[in-house]
């Protein structure tokens, strides 16, 4: 599975759970634009933040 497909699956889970980009951005201390760009596979994020991003979505 490609990086873009994996990120799209996480984005779909986020949207399905009603989690706003702004919520995750505040938790990770990054901008909303950065999260959007990450989800579209335009930028990468630190592994620690990526784990936190996924954990937040899983446990929401």
- CB 52, CB 28: distance < 8 Å: yes
Q: What angle do CA 16, 32, 35 make, to 5 degrees?
A: 65
What average pLDDT is seen over the chain?
A: 97
Q: pTM of this prediction?
A: 0.92
Task: Return the pLDDT at 1.
Answer: 82
- What is the DSSP secondary structure assignment for residue 1, as one 8-state letter? -
The whole-number average pLDDT for the span 8-29 is 98
Domain boundaries, the chain: 3-59
């Amino acid at each position: 599975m490609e990086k873009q497909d994996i990120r799209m699956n996480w984005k779909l889970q986020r949207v399905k759970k009603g989690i706003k980009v702004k919520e995750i951005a505040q938790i990770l201390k990054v901008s909303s634009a950065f999260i959007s760009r990450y989800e579209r596979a335009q930028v990468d994020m630190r592994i620690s933040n990526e784990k936190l991003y996924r954990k937040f979505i899983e446990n929401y």
